[in-house]
Amino acid sequence: MRFASDLHDIQGHTLHVVKLKVALARKLVHRDPGRAEQELREIYSLVSDTITQTKELVYAQRRLDLPAELENAKNLFEAAGIKVHIRRVACTDSRAGELLGQVLRETTTNILRHAQAREVRITLSESGISIVNDGVPDKPLSELSGLAVLEQRVVDNGGKLTVDQENGHFLTVADFPAPGPEAQEAR
């Protein structure tokens, strides 16, 4: 199940990004050929990176990097015309960083797929992440299976994943217990 979930994260995320970038390149091909070519180069690079990530997953070498995921999410939202606000309350504990990166990746994919977002706010704390977006329909969303699988992973690692939909906004929060004094001294 974990392998399938990770493969879904890698492939699903990339395919949604590629779809978005291809649509943008199609719009730009006659209006701004240089920018369209840039988008195509980025698509090529993204697909190459995804192939590498898939190979790493197969050979159990894949590690998610939270700062890279944060930068990737920011770039994707901006490319989609969505305002992004990022707030770092504290440096994130490295123990939780990989799982927080997975939460951010899955939430980014869900926002791009399911919402008509105009704005996303991401807040990072020492042991958690909060992501809130607008543009959510008032009707109940269908089950977000990627978040359900991720919730189990977060719980298995001592954390809590909370999702909430209210007044056209969707909130995803992942929290882990704050590291004890011995973990802080080891840093």
- In this structure, what CATH number is given to the domain that contains residue 80? 3.30.565.10
Mean per-residue pLDDT, 75-87: 92
Report the predicted TM-score, pTM, of the whole model to 2 decimal places.
0.67
CA–CA distance, 111 with 39 (Å, rounded to integer): 21
- 89 vs 40: which has the higher pLDDT: 40
Q: Give pLDDT, residue 110.
A: 87
Listed residue (179, 142, 187) closest to 163, CA to CA: 142
- 53 vs 159: which has the higher pLDDT: 159
End-to-end Cα separation, the chain, in angstroms: 33
Contact, 5 vs 153, CB < 8 A? Answer: yes
pLDDT band of 14, cuts 50, 70, 90: confident
Range of the domain at 35: 1-62
Q: Quick one: how far is CA 177 from the chain centroid?
A: 21
**Structure confidence by residue, pLDDT tens digits, 95-134:** 788 889 889 988 998 898 888 999 999 999 988 999 999 9
Q: Does 70 lie in the same domain as 3?
A: no
- 86 vs 46: which has the higher pLDDT: 86
Q: Does 116 lie in the same domain as 100?
A: yes
CA–CA distance, 139 with 53 (Å, rounded to integer): 36
Q: Does 48 lie in the same domain as 136?
A: no
Give yes or no for residue 147 having a pLDDT over 70. yes
Task: Choose one of 29, 45, 62: the last residue of a domain.
Answer: 62
Q: Does 153 lie in the same domain as 84?
A: yes
- 2 vs 6: which has the higher pLDDT: 6
User: For the chain, what is the domain count?
Assistant: 2
Provide the angle, in degrees to the nearest 10, between the axes of the packed helices 2-28 and 94-114. 50
pLDDT band of 186, cuts 50, 70, 90: very low
Q: Does 115 lie in the same domain as 93?
A: yes
Q: Does 181 lie in the same domain as 114?
A: yes
Q: CA separation (Å) from 67 to 73, 105, 130, 144? A: 10, 11, 15, 24
Q: Does 91 lie in the same domain as 167?
A: yes
Listed residue (123, 133, 19) closest to 70, CA to CA: 123
Q: Does 22 lie in the same domain as 38?
A: yes
Q: Does 120 lie in the same domain as 43?
A: no
Q: Does 102 lie in the same domain as 35?
A: no
Q: Give pLDDT, residue 119.
A: 97
Q: Give pLDDT, residue 183.
A: 46
Domain at 37, CATH number: 1.20.5
Q: Does 120 lie in the same domain as 186?
A: yes
Q: Give pLDDT, residue 1.
A: 57
Q: Does 161 lie in the same domain as 85?
A: yes
Percent above pLDDT 90 for the chain: 38
